[in-house]
Amino acid sequence: MIRFADYTDAAIMASVRGCPDRQNYLHSQMHFTSPRPVISLLESCERCGVTPSVSSRSLTRVETCDSERLVGMRKEDFTPDAIHDELWRYSFQESEDGLGKLGGGMIVPTRIADIEITTVSEKDFHFIVDGTATLKVTADWEIPGKWSGDYPMKFSYEFDSDGEIVSEVSCSIDSSAFDAGVDDYEAYLVERSRHKESFQRDVLDVVSLLEQSISPLHRKCLHRLLYANVITALECYLSGFFISRIKDDKELLRRFIETTPTFREQKMSVSDVFQTMDAIEKRANSYLFGLVWHRLSDVSRIYKNVLGVSFPDLTALRNAIQVRNELVHRNGRKLDGTEDELSETDIRRVIKTAEELTDHIEMEWLRRVRR
């Protein structure tokens, strides 16, 4: 704390530079031997819009203190515990600038820890406090879920004599921990744009057509086409996602060859080894392009054996694929002679079912990558 006696007449007058009443005090050659006249001067400044270096509020509190007539804070009062709450309030509760340093809107600060003060210097009646801290942050992704990490923080703030921050001199937050921790996430986003977003565009096309005004005579045919198209869009996603993974990863390609019965059962002579190795990718692609991607038993097996991605319960999707087969191969007629009557609700339901599988695959794959 700073004693009132530490404030010289010249220092007090300098703190209110710009106040109209300042000249009156100068002409009267007043000596500030007690807080009361100073409080009057500071209050006058505040009423006319001048912000003094020392607030009248701090001196008002001091005037009622009979023991040591204390005013404000001293350099030694700026400890980590003393500035913790103010550092958090100024940087991340009331300032958008602090949040902007975190590396993205998905990053949420949770608390400040490990505050260390390196220097405290005086500036008029204020203090420049330099130090470091650790900022605890979290990120809440739809996939794979929550992430948490530590951001090193280096700061320099100007505090007033009440211990409140009045301005930021500098503040840097090192978000490289986040950047390093999400390289796999960014790679995932690139791949996601190629497959998941392509699937979503196909679904949006279906929804757009579904919402078109159409005569009842044509609605039946349109609903059949749209229902089948949802399954087709899902097949494109399943094939594209899987093929891109083994194309970019030799180990996954090898696992695919070693776990797929078609390749595992083939025999070859030693003289054919190099020729087979040279053509292995071509043979893998040929097999995958010929795979029927709505045969969920085959597809779920290779996803699990090669990518380590297990499918959820597929009962609803299997039923939808059965309807799709009836639409494509028998124009909607079932084996018992009845027809599939598809409503808008049926189409939205199959869209939801397909989306649940794609979301599950995305989540499971990213969890595997992050391990």
Residue-wise pLDDT for 211-264, tens only, equals: 888 888 888 899 999 999 999 999 999 998 988 888 878 888 888 888 877 766
Residue written as token pair 């595992």: 264
- What single-letter amino acid sits at 75? K
Across 346-355, average pLDDT: 93
Buried/exposed code over 113-151 (b: 16+ C-beta within 10 A; e: otherwise): eebebeebeeeebbbbbbbebebbbebeeebbeebebeb
Handedness of CA 123, 125, 121, 5 (dihedral sign): positive
Q: Which residues of the chain form CATH 3.10.450?
A: 76-177
How many Å apart are CA 201 and CA 204, to the nearest integer? Answer: 5
- What's the gap between Cα 357 and its chain centre? 23
Edge-first strand listing for the sheet containing 126-140: 107-123, 126-140, 146-159, 165-173
The more confident residue out of 2 and 182 is 182
84-93, 231-240, 311-320, range with the lowest pLDDT: 84-93
At the top level of CATH, the class of 76-177 is: alpha beta
How many Å apart are CA 108 and CA 320, to the nearest integer? Answer: 41
